[in-house]
């Protein structure tokens, strides 16, 4: 008679193997946490990665068919929309992604239309806008990621000054790329049988109590980085400023960890992108690598930040090489250099601001410290 019980000998090896894999994953995550770095093997997002990768590659292919390099806003919007997706219930996902698409498209159009030549005034306006976006996002329930991502859009648009007509077209292209990606994400999930979730998973997280300090630090980091990269005449100044936006945290230790992770990922990604864009001469041949890179980045975005950036960096380098092949030879080195500069400046800004705040706090009368 066949033994069909769950504890049959034929099932024991696979069950033991699964337990060993789970134990190994927990061990790796604990060891990474002890050193201050996150590593969550259970946070793989394979289906989302495939959907996002397909959307990004499809929109790059459309840009090639239309022969419109300015259509690059569409694949960027598609990728950022995937990052904005909070997961959980359908209503929450629709609300958050729609907020990002609408705000991102408006910011992309307005900032690129009114972008001025580099200078202190331009840097001050950009830093104030980024700080405001991050503050509004973090102060709203479940919108913290949207504020940071729209701040990234503002930084990129500030380095792409265009006329009013082209700015409107850029905003429409952004809406199109983001909306198409959101529809694909929601429609695909709707076709999958729902899994049991606790009510907490569908509940938006509360507003961040440190929203103001985070926004102020981000504004300072953007101002310092924007001024420095234009003084150095970097080839891609937007990526340095983007790095400053995403690595800054409300405390210097978290910013330092994120800086190390981003610099390491940028170096790995740039090294991987360089031979690819130099070896491939036809833009169409880069579409499959774009799909793979986008899918891997989205899949790993919550697993480990260094791994995420290792795929994010070559993705954006290859998209740029596809849209403007003449600049492909310098993209990899410039991207790595700009990310390092922006990340380091953001960390130094956090250290200076928090160091000064602690110094002021140490000299405050006790009654002022306890009066708020």
Model confidence pLDDT, tens digit, residues 321-349: 888 766 655 666 676 777 777 777 777 76
b (16+ CB within 10 A) / e for 135-168: bbbbbbebbbbbbbbbbbbbbbbbbbbbeeeebe
| Structure confidence at residue 52 (pLDDT) | 93
- Residue 128 confidence (pLDDT): 95
Helices (H), the chain: 12-34, 46-66, 73-84, 90-114, 120-139, 144-158, 164-191, 211-231, 237-247, 252-279, 287-300, 305-323, 328-363, 366-369
pLDDT digits (tens, 9 = 90+) for 167-195: 999 999 999 999 999 999 888 765 544 44
Average pLDDT over residues 192-217: 67
Residue labelled with tokens 């928090």: 354
Can you tell me the mean pLDDT for 344-370? 53
pLDDT of res. 330 = 63
pTM of the shown model = 0.81
């Amino acid at each position: 008679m066949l033994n069909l019980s769950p504890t049959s000998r034929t099932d024991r090896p696979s069950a033991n193997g699964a337990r060993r894999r789970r134990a190994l994953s927990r061990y790796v995550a604990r060891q990474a946490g002890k050193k201050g770095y996150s590593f969550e093997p259970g946070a793989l997002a394979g289906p989302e990665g495939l959907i996002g990768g397909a959307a990004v590659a499809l929109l790059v292919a459309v840009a090639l068919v239309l022969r419109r390099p300015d259509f690059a806003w569409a694949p960027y919007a598609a990728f950022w929309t995937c990052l904005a997706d909070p997961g959980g219930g359908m209503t929450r996902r629709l609300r958050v992604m729609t907020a990002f698409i609408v705000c991102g498209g408006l910011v992309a159009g307005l900032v690129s239309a009114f972008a001025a030549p580099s200078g202190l005034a331009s840097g001050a306006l950009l830093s104030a806008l980024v700080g405001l976006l991050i503050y509004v996002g973090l102060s709203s329930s479940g919108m913290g990621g949207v504020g940071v991502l729209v701040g990234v859009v503002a930084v990129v648009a500030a380095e792409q000054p265009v006329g009013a007509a082209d700015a409107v077209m850029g905003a429409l292209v952004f809406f199109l790329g983001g909306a198409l990606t959101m529809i694909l994400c929601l429609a695909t999930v709707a076709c999958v049988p729902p899994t049991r979730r606790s009510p907490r998973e569908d509940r938006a997280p509360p507003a961040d109590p440190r929203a103001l300090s985070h926004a102020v630090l981000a504004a300072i980091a953007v101002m310092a980085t924007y001024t420095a990269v234009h003084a150095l005449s970097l080839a891609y100044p937007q990526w340095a400023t983007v790095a400053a936006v995403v690595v800054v945290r409300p405390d210097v230790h978290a910013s330092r960890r994120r800086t190390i992770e981003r610099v390491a990922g940028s170096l790995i990604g740039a090294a991987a992108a360089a031979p690819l864009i130099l070896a491939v001469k036809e833009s169409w041949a880069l579409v499959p690598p774009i799909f793979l890179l986008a899918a891997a980045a989205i899949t790993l975005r919550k697993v480990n930040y260094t791994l995420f950036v290792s795929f994010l960096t070559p993705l954006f380098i290859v998209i740029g090489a596809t849209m403007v092949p003449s600049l492909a030879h310098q993209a990899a080195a410039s991207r790595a250099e700009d990310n390092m500069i922006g990340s380091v400046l953001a960390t130094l800004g956090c250290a200076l601001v928090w160091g000064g705040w602690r110094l002021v706090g140490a000299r405050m009368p006790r009654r002022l410290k306890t009066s708020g």
